[in-house]
Amino acid sequence: MSPQKLIIAFVFLLVAAGGYGQSVVGKGAAGRKSAEKVRLLVWNQDTLFGLIDGTGKPVLPCEYEDLTLYGCNVYKEAGYIVAKRNRLWGVLDWNGHQLVPFRYNREPEPIAASKGLFLIPGYEENGGVVDSRGDTVLPFKYLYIECSNNAYIRYWCKNDIPSRLVYTKVEMRDDTLADGKIRQVPQTYLEGCLDENCNEVLPPVYRKINVGHSVILVIDTNGYEGLADYSGRWLVAPDPQYEFGMIYGSFHTTIVDKKSKRVGLLSAEGDVLLPVIYQSIDDSYELVNNILLQDTFGLWSIVDTRLQPLTPHRYKELVNLGEMDISDIYWGLLPDGTSELIDTAGNVIQIDPPVLFQDIIPFLFPVVFVDGALQLVNPSGKLLPQRYKASHGGTNSLVSVSADSLHWGVVDRNGKVVVPLRYSAADVNDDGVIFTRRPSGKIDVFSREGEKLLTCRGVMEAHDVLLIENRKKQWAIADKTTGHRISSYFQTLDHIVYCCESSGYWSVFKENGMMGYIDSQGHEIYPCSLDYEMVGGARILWKFIDGGCSCGKLQY
């Protein structure tokens, strides 16, 4: 697969949430209606772009120099198409009807959670906001203006991002500082923010603004930090004594006393949840509804998210055995050198297990070293007697292990062998699908129950399906649950992904390098007639690349 073809893997899109991001091709009127919401990129011999839907029907003719699609359901409308024609930008609705006239030199951006408001960025020109008719809502007075989370929304399509604020920036001059003094400053801009209706929340007079899950962290021109809510009300006014840590996955924020270096916890309303008396607070295990607290003596305890204590401060070290992927067991080292295994309710389930914790095992499956070998910890917290040479990790119920470098297999949480240890390699994906490589090089794919699904020359995981390779080094789609092949073989077959959402559509290449589209059932919806080499360097192709997609990277 050429580097150019790898680019196309993530580019041609576009499907959004709210039905767009699912496999939308099915039988009957409902399946067709969903397919009609899909948008896929096409182009002509003049390198002008257009769109078709999931049935192959044209939505936009090939007369646009650039296109950006916003289909995530964080927008209150059904979706927007931002387009460039005759060197000017405008906005269309999801069906291609004009909303904002083609009159702007900069690319408009829909403001999340607003209804029909579009930001016109200002760089050399002043930026502002217009409505769906192109009328000015926010005057073009800001030297620099941007949506605070639009870049993340477009990239990740996270519907739980709470912030719908708009950053504003103005040029920072020596005579505009808060204290009125004239002096040189290292930064160029002062920042503020607006709400989704373009009402000013904070004026652009601050050195830095960071929007968190439920609060706004503000740094003033003196370098003092403060916290405000989304209405601009101060929860903690800028104060030289404190600094704050933004906890994006929570509705609370850490507060640090600069002088004592002690840490506490504030609620989203600015109320003190935990006093500023702790040496460290670790909420990285909140997925199991726990927070770890370290007191001034360096000892750790476990509390739940209601801040009720589950254990006393007694552990010199306290680590979740899943480390990167949270498991249901903690390992705690006591000051006397003994250790305990603790469940997420704070109960000790085994005393002084002979384990040496290794932070190089970032797996959900609890795996520990015992006297130079690996042993598994079952759901009851007991060490299983089987000893292994190595492990590649797995899920919360399966793990790949080896007796030696040439004999790999898969066992479950209780040590039961699911796939015999006779393969040169074995791995388990997040869905429990098992991939093994024979010494001959062929690949066997098993279900989580150990049933063989298929044998092939090569396989790649691509979201809810598999890509399988034949002897001619061509690729086809196979069902992940049954192993049945559901498409023809192609020279290159790449999943269309946007915002890390599965689109149910694929760009396919034949031996001559021409590209077309198939749906998730393997049916051709656009023939292989698009010349990729013609547009291989166009900026529009890079705009939709999704660096978070695993397609094409995971090969067994």
Q: What is the DSSP letter of 298?
A: S
What integer pLDDT is reported at residue 234 of this predicted model? 93
Q: How far apart are CA 553 and CA 540, in angstroms?
A: 23
Distance CA 426, CA 448 (A): 13
Q: Are the beta carbons of 363 and 375 closer than 8 angstroms?
A: no
In this prediction, residue 538 has a pLDDT band, given cuts at 50, 70 and 90, of low
Tell which wins on pLDDT, 502 or 234.
234
Span 46-70, pLDDT tens digits:
999 999 998 999 999 999 999 988 7
CB 552 within 8 A of CB 3: no
**Could you give the C-alpha distances from 432 to 415, 480, 530, in angstroms and in order?**
16, 10, 37
Residues paired with residue 375 on neighbouring β-strands, in sequence order: 368
**Per-residue confidence at 346, pLDDT binned at 50, 70, 90?**
very high
- What is the structure's pLDDT at 42? 92
Distance of CA 518 to the CA centre of its chain: 26
| Token output for 429 | 């994906």
pLDDT for 459-471, tens place per residue? 888 767 888 988 8
Distance CA 514, CA 528 (A): 5
Question: Is the CB of residue 209 less than 8 Å from the CB of residue 215?
Answer: no
The arithmetic mean of pLDDT across residues 302-320, rounded, is 91
The encoded tokens of residue 461 equal 């995981």
CA 227 – CA 225 distance, rounded (Å):
7
| Per-residue pLDDT, 143 | 52
Confidence of residue 25 (pLDDT cuts 50, 70, 90): very low
Higher pLDDT, 409 or 138: 409
440 within 8 A of 427, measured Cβ to Cβ: no
Is the pLDDT at 266 greater than 80? The verdict is yes
Given a contact cutoff of 8 angstroms between Cβ atoms, the answer to whether 266 and 236 are in contact is yes
E-state strands within 451-511: 452-456, 458-462, 465-469, 475-479, 492-498, 501-509
DSSP symbols for 161-210: -----EEEEEE--GGGSTT------S-SEEEEEE-TT--EEEEEEESEEE
Residue listed under structure tokens 């011999």: 45
Report residue 23 as tokens. Answer: 């496999």
Q: What is the pLDDT of residues 275-284, one digit of tens each?
A: 999 999 987 7
12 pLDDT higher than 80: no
Least confident of 169-183, 214-228, 288-302, 438-452: 169-183
Burial 287-304 (b: 16+ CB within 10 A, else e): ebebbbbbeeeebbbbbb
Confidence band, pLDDT 50/70/90 cuts, at residue 86 = very high
Closest CA to 409 of 376, 385, 373, 434: 434
Is 141 in a helix, a strand, or coil?
strand
Contact indicator for 113, 139 with CB cutoff of 8 Å:
no
Q: Rounded mean pLDDT of 355-372?
A: 59
Classify the C-alpha dihedral 308-312-316-317 as positive or negative.
negative
Q: Is 70 exceeded by the pLDDT of residue 541? A: no
Query: pLDDT band for position 24 (50/70/90)?
Result: very low
Structure tokens at 354: 């002979």
Instruction: State pTM to two decimals.
Output: 0.66
List the strands of the sheet with 127-131, edge to edge: 109-110, 117-120, 127-131, 136-142
Stretch 270-276: mean pLDDT, rounded?
Answer: 90
Average pLDDT, the chain: 77
Q: Quick one: three-class SS letters along 74-128?
A: CCCCCCEEEEEECCEEEEEECCCCEEEEEEECCCCEECCCCCCEEEECCCCCCEE
Domains and CATH numbers, the chain: 76-111+113-148+166-229 (no CATH), 248-282+286-325+328-363 (2.40.128)
Distances (CA, A) of 193 to 166, 200, 466: 5, 6, 45
